[in-house]
Amino acid sequence: MINEIIRKVSQGMIGRMCNEQDNVKRLLEYVALAPHGNHLEIGTLFGGSAICVALLKNELNVVGDTYCVDPFDGYYKGTEYESVNDPICDIPVDLQTVENNAELFDVYLEIIKAKSNPFPIEGIRFSTAYVDGDHWGENPRIDIENCMKVTDNFIVIDNYDAQHPDVMRACEKHYRDWWMAYRGGITCVLAKI
């Protein structure tokens, strides 16, 4: 089921799904372990992984919305990689593209057009979270710590690799009440004790 969802979204969406080294597959495996409740995604690009989560929840017939937090102001704004369009597929990195993709797959995404810090959501708990936002400086640690305050089971972190040392450092930091349940490819998973 997971592989079929990923294939369907990857082939049918506008733009591209970032599924390097099976990171979306790992995400869905952990969502399937704790499917009941809301899911949080920090960093959305074109919405591929969030749509996969929403479709998986539909297939499992569980309750819970998928929330996406992203400024939707282009590709890596404020860095040397900054561009209005994604440099790989040349599609605009904006809110409209994500909304169009959600409509294509007939899923509901609770989209919050904002930076992840300060954390823009209050009073909502999440079963799982996916961190794929700003990969540099203190931002990965801040995103992980913000997710820990509102997440009850698993936090899946993307880009855990040598090209993103700040992400690796943030994942390997000792966090009270959380432990590293998985690391492989470019994915790290923190689980609540």
- List of domains in the chain: 2-192 (3.40.50.150)
Q: Report the chain's mean pLDDT, rounded to a whole number.
A: 94
**Percent of the chain whose pLDDT exceeds 90:** 85
Kindly state the average pLDDT of the residues 181-193. 96
Residue 21: predicted pLDDT: 81
Question: 39-54 b/e with 16+ CB inside 10 Å = b?
Answer: bbbbbbbbbbbbbbbb
pLDDT in tens, 53-100: 999 999 999 999 999 999 988 777 777 777 888 888 999 889 999 999
Count CB atoms within 10 A of the CB of residue 34.
19
Residue 82: predicted pLDDT: 76
pLDDT in tens, 7-61: 999 999 999 998 888 999 999 999 999 999 999 999 999 999 999 999 999 999 9
Judged against a pLDDT cut of 90, whether residue 102 lies above it is answered with yes
User: What's the pTM?
Assistant: 0.95
